[in-house]
Amino acid sequence: MTQLDTSIFKSYDIRAIYPDQADEALAEKIGRAFAKYLNFPDKVLVARDGRISGESMKNALITGLTKVGVNVLDIDLASTDSFYYACQTRNLPGVSVTASHNPKQYTGFKMVKKIPELLSGEAGIKEIKEWILSNDLPADSPQPGMVEHEDIKQEFVDYVASLVDLFQVKPMKIVADTANGMVGPFLEILSKKIPQVEFIKMYWEVDGNFPNHGGDPLLAENRAEIQKKVPEIKADLGIMFDPDGDRFFVIDKKGRFISGDFMTAILSEYFLKRYPGCAIVYDIRASKVVPETINKNGGKALANRVGHTHIKARMKAENAYFGGEVSGHYYFKDFFLCDTGLTTFVYLLDFLSHTPVPLEEIVDHMSQKYHISGEINSTVADATAVLKKLENTYGPQAIAPIEYMDGVTFEMGDWRFNVRSSNTEPLLRLNLEANSPELMATKRDEVLALIRS
């Protein structure tokens, strides 16, 4: 790395190509800056995902922390949700060296101030960037910090398993794809607790080269194999995790990918049975099936801005039990308001073991009534001008006032859509829903043409 590329400092984390944009020298500086931002805590928890560069970047980060006098608890290989668990139960701030679902050449840092609060572009990441740019970093301490090591895998799985009664889980055959990421070792431990579930393993070995497919299950090519396999072997369902394990995705018996909106609705019904009348937070992009399901089951439906910072804050303010995002992030009161893939899976198992309606029938019903585009990105030169053009075009036709909670949301009667700007790129993101597949396709293309013209 020759010159610092400030684009690596994102809204929710640091993410960069290794070693061109971020190397061990930068990792050490991040360690020093993190210690400074938190006013030199006694101890910081450190973890990493399975990327090839992960160990050397983690060790450099630890060097930066210990040189300025901070002690380190190193839990080494960890999924993001197990890292959150460790920070919560040890009452420590932490840094995980992870680039989530990005390709193998990436590295990155997720930084916890105090669970569930992470450093963000508005608080923490901005200061770290400025201090590194100006070389305003703390000098070596005369008393270096010490490093201790701990393996929290079993303890984390035991906690997740305690959230439901696993003895009540029905026998099932489940295809599980962990994309050579961090969830495989945790599923191995969990599988021993539910012997009545037959797991068909796909890529449970941690391999930072990601030799089988990419890490983002929202890309169709990364889930094509499991979507074919589930109906082929007559499995009950398929599950997918991204490489760091904070997102969770489901394939039904027919091989259909279940969108984050539908999963949020399904889990909302489950939580309203467990906690009648509870508040549930969902992101503004979601299908109408989400608030309709919550309202039908007697809950309090709360639409919210996209992003973990906003979801967590709303859940805390409203004492909500569950929050869901279209992107496959799910948050739970019983998991410290954090997003967690493994916990979502355990709750889904519990739901499927007690509902008389098979998952594929639930999806049949939803897919007949709700037709969604999924999130579609468009590169634009002037996002503000495009959003204004959309307001001028569709505002007069809308059946309700334009919603400005996150981007712009239009209610058009038999169809609706949200368009919002990316936090980090010159992109506009479209999510559209209609009452028929034909109308969805027509309106999707119409709105995209206006965005891209």
In a domain, 65, yes or no: yes
Q: Which residue among 100, 287, 327, 421 is the active-site one?
A: 100
Residues 112 and 162 placed together within one structural domain of the fold: no
**Quick check: is 286 in a domain?**
yes
Q: Does 229 fall in a domain?
A: yes
Other CB atoms within a 10 A radius of the CB of residue 126 amount to: 14
Say if residue 182 is in the same domain as residue 139.
Answer: no
Name beta bridge partners: 199: 174
First to last CA, the chain: 38
Confidence label for 1 from pLDDT (cuts 50, 70 and 90): low
The DSSP secondary-structure symbol of 219 reads S
The strand pairing partners of 283, in sequence order, are 304
Task: Report yes or no: 371 and 439 within 8 Å, Cβ to Cβ.
Answer: yes
Domain stop point among 126, 151, 176: 151
Q: Are residues 203 and 124 in the same domain?
A: no
| Tokens at 83, concatenated | 């890292």
H-helix or E-strand containing 50? none
Among candidates 90, 67, 65, 63, which has minimal Cα distance to 78? Answer: 90
Q: What is the largest CA-CA distance in the chain?
A: 70
Residues 304 and 413 in one domain: no
Q: How far apart are CA 99 and CA 108, in angstroms?
A: 5
Q: Are residues 403 and 317 in the same domain?
A: no
Q: Which residues are paired to 43 by β-bridges?
A: 71
d(CA 255, CA 310): 33
pLDDT confidence bin for 314, thresholds 50/70/90:
very high
DSSP codes, 372-411: E---EEEE-S-HHHHHHHHHHHHGGG-SSPPB-SSSEEEE
User: Is-above-0.95 flag for pTM?
Assistant: yes
Tokens encoding 192: 């021993």
pLDDT band at 72 (very low <50, low <70, confident <90, very high): very high
Domain count across the chain: 3
- My answer on whether 238 and 284 are in the same domain is yes
For residue 355, what are the contacts with CB-CB under 8 A and spacing of at least 6? 362
Rama region for 57: left / alpha / beta (φ>0; ψ in -120 to 50; rest): alpha
Q: Is 100 a catalytic residue?
A: yes
Strand 71-77 to 279-283 pairing: unpaired
Give dist(CA 95, CA 212) in Å, integer.
28
| Domain identity same for 172 and 122 | no
**Beta carbons of 97 and 107 less than 8 angstroms apart:** yes
Please, what is the average pLDDT of the chain? Answer: 97
Tokens of 378: 């468009």
pLDDT at 263: 98
Domain region containing 379: 370-452
- Per the DSSP assignment, residues forming a β-bridge with 227 are none
Say whether both 172 and 268 belong to one domain: yes
What is the structure's pLDDT at 297? 98
* Contact present, 407 and 285 (Cβ < 8 Å): no
Cα 350 to Cα 168: distance, rounded to the nearest angstrom: 8
3-state secondary structure 151-174: CCHHHHHHHHHCCCCHHHCCCEEE
Q: Which domain CATH number covers 118?
A: 3.40.120.10
Q: Quick one: what percent of the chain has pLDDT higher than 70?
A: 99
What integer pLDDT is reported at residue 192 of this predicted model? 98
Is pLDDT at 2 greater than 90 in this prediction? no
- Average pLDDT of 386-398? 97
Assess contact for 234 and 173: CB atoms under 8 A: yes
What is the reported pLDDT for 426? Answer: 84
- Please write the tens of the pLDDT for every residue from 253-307: 999 999 999 999 999 999 999 999 999 999 999 999 999 999 999 999 999 999 9
Residue in the block written with tokens 């610092």: 4
Instruction: Give the position of tokens 């995902």.
Output: 49
Q: Is 335 within the bounds of a domain? A: yes
The model's pLDDT over 114-167, given as tens digits with 9 standing for 90+, comes to 999 999 999 999 999 999 999 999 999 999 999 999 999 999 999 999 999 999
| 32 and 164 part of one domain | no
Contact 148, 210 (CB under 8 A): no
In a 10 Å sphere around its CB, with 0-12 CB exposed, 13-18 middle and 19+ buried, how is residue 308 labelled? Answer: buried
The predicted pLDDT at position 267 comes to: 98
User: How buried is 64 (Cβ within 10 angstroms: 0-12 exposed, 13-18 middle, 19+ buried)?
Assistant: buried
What Rg value do the Cα atoms of the chain yield, rounded?
22
Per residue in 400-431, pLDDT (tens digit) is 999 999 999 999 999 999 999 987 678 999 99
Last residue of a domain, one of 151, 176, 210: 151
Supply 26's token pair.
Answer: 């930068």
Query: Between these two residues, 57 and 3, which has the higher pLDDT value?
Result: 57
Percent of the chain with pLDDT over 90: 98
Are the beta carbons of 37 and 5 closer than 8 angstroms? no
Distance, in Å, from the CA atom of 305 to the CA atom of 314, rounded to the nearest integer, reads 9
* SS3 per residue for 415-433: EEEEEEECCCCCEEEEEEE
Place of tokens 């005369």: 142
Q: Which of 368, 394, 429 is the last residue of a domain?
A: 368
76, 148 in Cβ contact below 8 A? no
CATH code of the domain in which 430 resides = 3.30.310.50
Q: Are residues 254 and 139 in the same domain?
A: no
Q: Are 301 and 273 members of one domain?
A: yes
Distances 190 to 119, 220, 334 between C-alpha atoms, Å = 30, 28, 18
Report the pLDDT value the prediction gives residue 425, as an integer from 0 to 100. 77
Average pLDDT over residues 21-28: 98
CB-based burial, 385-395: b 16+ in 10 Å, e otherwise: ebbeebbeebe
Kindly state whether residue 223 falls inside one of the protein's structural domains.
yes
Query: Is the distance from CB of 14 to CB of 109 less than 8 angstroms?
Result: yes
Query: Quick one: 346 and 210 in the same domain?
Result: yes
Mean per-residue pLDDT, 343-363: 97
Give domain status of residue 1, yes or no.
no
Please check whether residue 403 is in contact with residue 306, taking contact to mean a CB–CB distance below 8 angstroms. no
pLDDT for the residue 171: 98
The per-residue pLDDT for 422 is 86
List Cα–Cα distances, 227 to 152, 175, 231, 233, 359, in angstroms: 32, 10, 7, 11, 15
